[in-house]
């Protein structure tokens, strides 16, 4: 039996969350490439559900925006102006402070050709960096791990998702990222007598598939100890908002400041599918987002790490230009994207505002392919071969 099949079908895969396949597979060392050549960290925040970009970065000088959204549009006097054309939703006050400090780059009109308005399909496209008609089983960050981790170096968790399940984005052909919500919980899960006994060294003549499982368990237990031991030293009292994103960004900060050897962190928060009564729900979520990101940024700044960490925020698509009959918005296409950190070209609006006179059947047209942003982050921030990860060359941009 192929050892991967053995692994999936063995009884060990069902003994609890500590032994779920993606968790164990994160430590497989059968992979290609060379170790990353940077100490930089990329943090990705995914706004799941399709955040309404036009009410996030508001085109307050555009009459079409107000005509198409008679009850949803943000009044010009409430917009936090970035330039003469666009500004932030007032719920993003904390983010505007970071922008004024030169720490935020806004990229408008981000998308891909032949956009798909299904949440699941569009998210798959963003997470795998595929074409709209292409189906991939590996994520772009999983392929980053495949191509750029080597040997023991990969046991230090190059990619961590702060969640209890792993997104497709972090699943590679040979290596996966690691999903965890709490380093202590992860540590405790691998302290069970069963796991520790199985992880003990076994005779060299064990069946290769069994030996592989034992080796994986040993690496898992060792790495869980490593993360926990490093994280114990980082529990500080820097104030974070008591929200889901606030708590997860606090975990990321603790791991960064503890020196855990991780280049990529991934976080997803939901609730942005605002078909009905959008204003209250979106404003609440945007405020939580801005306050959590501001706390995270100020924490890094206070600890001298701001120039080493770059945070990217995206959503799988935007919303339609015209509001619907339920005081909400329906699935659209192109959207805005935020880059936040001290290592950027000084904060700015990167490109033109959305064009509301040239639409694709009522939706915004993209002018920036999201894979160009990925290529730039891979090449210029993480210092790896973007073509090896993405499969072909995409234009890179000048924001880092």
37-51 pLDDT, tens digit each: 568 999 999 999 999
What pLDDT, on a 0 to 100 scale, did the predictor assign at position 208? 58
Q: Would 341 be classed as within a structural domain?
A: yes
3-state secondary structure of 102: coil
Q: Picking from 99-108, 204-213, 234-243, 301-310, which range would have the lowest pLDDT averaged per residue?
A: 204-213
106 domain residue, yes or no: yes
Does the pLDDT at position 31 exceed 90? no
- Residue 89's domain is classified under what CATH number? 3.40.720
Lowest pLDDT segment from 7-21, 189-203, 303-317? 7-21
- Other beta carbons within 10 Å of 238: 15
Angle CA(368)–CA(344)–CA(356) in degrees, nearest 5?
Answer: 30
Phi, psi of 331, deg, nearest 5:
-60, 135
The whole domain housing 319 covers 30-189+240-390
116-153 b/e (C-beta count within 10 Å ≥ 16 → b): beebeebbbbbbbbbeeeeebebbbbbbbbbbbbeeee
End-to-end, the C-alpha distance of the chain in Å comes to 47
Find the range with the poorest average confidence among 225-234, 281-290, 332-341, 351-360.
Answer: 225-234
**pTM for the predicted model, two decimal places:** 0.87
Is residue 51 assigned to a domain? yes
Q: Is residue 194 part of a domain?
A: no
Q: Within a 13 Å sphere around the CA of 38, how many CA atoms are in the beta-carbon half?
A: 19
The answer to whether residue 256 sits within a structural domain is yes
- Residue 304 in any domain: the answer is yes
Is 210 part of a structural domain of the chain?
no
Residue-wise pLDDT tens digits, 136-194: 999 999 999 989 876 555 654 789 999 989 999 999 988 888 888 888 777 777 776 65
* Residue 349 CB neighbour total at 10 angstroms: 19
Per the structure, the count of domains in the chain is: 1
pLDDT reading at 197 higher than 90: no
Average pLDDT along the chain: 85
Span 67-80, mean pLDDT?
98
pLDDT at 261: 87
DSSP 331: B
């Amino acid at each position: 039996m192929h050892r991967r099949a053995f692994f999936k079908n063995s009884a060990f895969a069902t003994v609890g969350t500590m032994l779920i396949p993606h968790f164990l597979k994160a430590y497989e060392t059968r992979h290609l490439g060379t170790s990353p050549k940077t100490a930089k960290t990329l943090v990705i925040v995914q706004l799941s559900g399709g955040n309404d970009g036009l009410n996030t970065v508001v085109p307050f000088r555009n009459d079409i925006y107000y005509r198409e959204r008679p009850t949803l549009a943000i009044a010009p006097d409430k917009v936090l102006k970035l330039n003469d054309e666009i500004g932030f939703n007032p719920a993003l006050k904390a983010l505007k402070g970071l922008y004024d400090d030169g720490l935020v780059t806004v990229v408008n009109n981000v998308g891909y050709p032949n956009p798909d308005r299904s949440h699941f399909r569009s998210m798959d496209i963003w997470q795998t960096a595929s074409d709209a008609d292409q189906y991939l089983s590996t994520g772009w960050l999983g392929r980053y791990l495949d191509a750029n981790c080597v040997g023991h170096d990969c046991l230090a968790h190059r990619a961590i998702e702060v969640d209890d399940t792993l997104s497709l984005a972090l699943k590679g052909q040979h290596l996966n990222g690691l999903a965890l919500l709490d380093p202590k919980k992860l540590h405790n899960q691998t302290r069970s007598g069963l796991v520790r006994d199985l992880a003990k060294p076994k005779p060299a003549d064990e069946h290769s598939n069994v030996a592989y499982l034992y080796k994986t368990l040993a690496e898992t237990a060792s790495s869980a100890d490593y993360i926990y031991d490093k994280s114990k030293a980082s529990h500080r009292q820097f104030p974070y908002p008591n929200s889901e994103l606030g708590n997860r960004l606090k975990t990321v900060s603790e791991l960064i400041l503890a020196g855990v050897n991780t280049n990529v962190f991934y976080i997803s928060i939901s609730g942005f599918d605002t078909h009905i009564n959008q204003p209250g729900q979106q404003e609440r979520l945007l405020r939580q987002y801005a306050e959590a990101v501001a706390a995270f940024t100020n924490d890094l700044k206070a600890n001298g790490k701001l120039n080493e960490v770059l945070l990217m925020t995206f959503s799988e698509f935007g919303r339609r230009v015209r509001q619907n009959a339920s005081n909400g918005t329906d699935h659209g296409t192109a959207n805005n994207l935020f880059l936040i950190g001290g290592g950027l070209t000084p904060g700015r609006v990167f490109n033109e505002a959305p064009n509301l006179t040239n639409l694709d059947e009522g939706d915004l047209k993209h002018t920036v392919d999201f894979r160009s942003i990925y290529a730039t982050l891979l090449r210029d921030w993480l210092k790896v071969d973007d073509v090896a990860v993405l499969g072909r060359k995409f234009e890179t941009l000048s924001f880092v």
